Amino acid sequence: MSEKRSHEIHRTHAETLEFVKCAVLTISDTRVEETDTSGQLIRSLLNANGHPVLRYQIVRDDVWQIRKVIVSWLTDDEVDTIITTGSTGLSPRDVAVEAIEPLLDKKLEGFGEIFRSLSYGEIGSAAMMSRAFAGVANGKVVFCLPGSPNACQFALQKLILPELRHLVWTVRGQK
Q: What CATH number does residue 78 fall under? A: 3.40.980.10
- pLDDT for position 7: 58
For β-strands 133-137 and 106-107, DSSP reports them as: antiparallel
- pLDDT for position 16: 77
- Phi/psi at 75 (5° precision): -105, 10
Residue 7 lies inside a defined structural domain of this protein: no
Residue 8 lies inside a defined structural domain of this protein: no
Contact 78, 54 (CB under 8 A): yes
- CB neighbour class for 51 (10 Å; exposed up to 12, middle 13-18, buried from 19): buried
What does the pLDDT profile of the chain (175 residues) look like in tens digits? 456 666 565 556 567 789 999 999 999 999 999 999 999 999 999 999 999 999 999 999 999 999 999 999 999 999 999 999 999 999 999 999 999 999 999 999 999 999 999 999 999 999 999 999 999 999 999 999 999 999 999 999 999 999 999 999 999 986 5
Residue 155 lies inside a defined structural domain of this protein: yes
Residue 78 lies inside a defined structural domain of this protein: yes
Distance set, CA 33 to CA 45, 59, 130, 173 (Å): 17, 11, 24, 36
Distance set, CA 64 to CA 59, 70, 71, 135, 137 (Å): 10, 10, 10, 19, 17
Domain that holds residue 139: 20-104+111-128+135-171
Q: What is the DSSP string of 55-101?
A: EEEEE-S-HHHHHHHHHHHHT-TT-SEEEEES--SSSTT--HHHHHG
Residue 5 lies inside a defined structural domain of this protein: no
Residue 120 lies inside a defined structural domain of this protein: yes
Residue 2 lies inside a defined structural domain of this protein: no
Overall number of domains in the chain:
1
Residue 15 lies inside a defined structural domain of this protein: no
